[in-house]
């Protein structure tokens, strides 16, 4: 579909990232006019729309990027890392995720941008759930510098929205997966493909996830639906899986047999503590569920892909990567 000449322009920041590329593909397919903000234009190959280089997030110049824009979808961020190298991690996260976002928001106000969709994180809610899924109305309880910076950015954006005409919508995704995924999910794909025995056969947790194609459609809905203004949404695929069930589904998508060993949870947690990987083990054995009814009720949004369809596309990408 070709974008109409007079249609609104959507600015996507962090457009060359894992979620950003999928979002840009979806928006272009729907016929929207796109402007994509990247740190380095050399990394923008294949992106649809007008490319604008803005530099590093903590010192970005947003003036040219937001000029004439109707909606901003802000994905660019200093993301959670497993091996932190900054001497003061919280200060580093604040410089990018709070101060960098504030400069973008104030430039958006100056250029009369209508709406800013801020992609935050479920880490604003916390690290784990027990019997009750997280909701947008829960008291925030971020536990690490990344989550704290995202929470502070949300509060800052709400203050700007209250004082100006800028509409702000916040989206807090849980684990995002799909083609081009990295981190622990990519590691799990590799281990499952190699049929490495994994000690999670006795783990009966529940974790929410979202396929990046579903997240892209949710962000698109938040960008344009009138009812999204001022709202905070948690989003997911709508089917929560245990770690064991996820590995079985991944194995099926990869065409291999899952090799799960039933190690009791306390032993796994002890091993995590002894090895210095307690947080990583907690994510594998603990639960983290979100309640995504708000976006469904307000915007009529529903996931376009099932978990199995999302995992199948992810596995197909991974098989190509592994050749």
Angle at the Cα of 180 (from 237 to 280), degrees rounded to 5?
A: 70
Q: Is residue 146 annotated as part of the catalytic site, yes or no?
A: yes
Q: In what order do the strands lie in the sheet with 71-74?
A: 50-53, 33-38, 9-13, 71-74, 115-119, 167-172, 232-234
Dig out the tokens for 102 from the structure.
Answer: 């504030």
Phi first, then psi, for residue 151 (nearest 5°) are -65, -45
Dig out the tokens for 46 from the structure.
Answer: 């294949």
Determine the Cα–Cα distance for residues 288 and 243; give it in Å rounded to an integer: 11
Determine the Cα–Cα distance for residues 33 and 24; give it in Å rounded to an integer: 10
CA-to-CA dists, residue 3 to 11, 62, 89, angstroms: 14, 24, 42
User: Is 172 in contact with 124 (CB distance < 8 Å)?
Assistant: yes
Alpha helix stretches (DSSP H) within the chain: 18-29, 63-66, 89-93, 100-110, 145-163, 183-193, 212-224, 243-254, 265-275, 278-285, 293-299, 307-322
User: Is 170 in contact with 160 (CB distance < 8 Å)?
Assistant: no
Catalytic residue among 118, 146, 211, 305: 146
Residue holding tokens 């708000």? 294
* CA atoms lying within 13 Å on the CB side of residue 200: 23
CA-to-CA dists, residue 172 to 28, 119, 131, angstroms: 23, 6, 20
User: Is 261 in contact with 199 (CB distance < 8 Å)?
Assistant: yes
Enzyme catalytic residues: 146
């Amino acid at each position: 579909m070709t974008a109409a000449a007079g249609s609104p322009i959507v600015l996507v920041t962090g457009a060359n990232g894992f979620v950003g590329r999928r979002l840009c593909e979806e928006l272009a397919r729907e016929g929207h006019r796109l402007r994509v903000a990247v740190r380095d234009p050399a990394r923008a190959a294949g992106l649809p729309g007008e490319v604008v280089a803005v530099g590093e997030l903590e010192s970005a110049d947003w003036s040219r990027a937001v000029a004439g824009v109707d909606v901003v979808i802000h994905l660019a961020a200093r993301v959670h890392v497993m091996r932190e190298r900054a001497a003061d991690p919280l200060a580093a996260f604040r410089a990018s995720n709070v101060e960098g976002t504030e400069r973008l928001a104030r430039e958006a106000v100056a250029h009369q941008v209508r709406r800013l969709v801020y992609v935050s994180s479920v880490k604003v809610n916390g690290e784990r759930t027990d019997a009750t899924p997280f909701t947008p109305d829960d008291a925030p309880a971020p536990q690490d510098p990344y989550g704290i910076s995202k929470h502070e950015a949300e509060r800052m954006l709400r203050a700007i929205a209250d004082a100006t005409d800028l509409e702000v919508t916040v989206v807090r995704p849980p684990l995002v997966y799909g083609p081009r995924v990295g981190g622990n999910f990519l590691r799990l794909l590799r281990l499952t493909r190699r049929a490495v025995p994994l000690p999670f056969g006795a783990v009966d947790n529940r974790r929410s996830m979202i396929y990046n194609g579903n997240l892209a459609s949710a962000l698109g809905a938040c960008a344009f639906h009138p009812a999204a203004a001022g709202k905070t949404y948690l989003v997911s695929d709508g089917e929560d899986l245990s770690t064991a069930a996820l590995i079985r589904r991944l194995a099926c998508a990869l065409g291999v047999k899952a090799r799960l060993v039933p190690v009791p949870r306390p032993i796994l947690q002890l091993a995590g503590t002894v090895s210095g990987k307690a947080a990583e083990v907690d994510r594998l054995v603990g639960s983290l569920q979100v309640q995504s009814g708000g976006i469904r009720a307000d915007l009529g949004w529903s996931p376009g892909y099932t978990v199995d369809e999302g995992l199948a596309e992810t596995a197909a990408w991974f098989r190509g990567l592994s050749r």
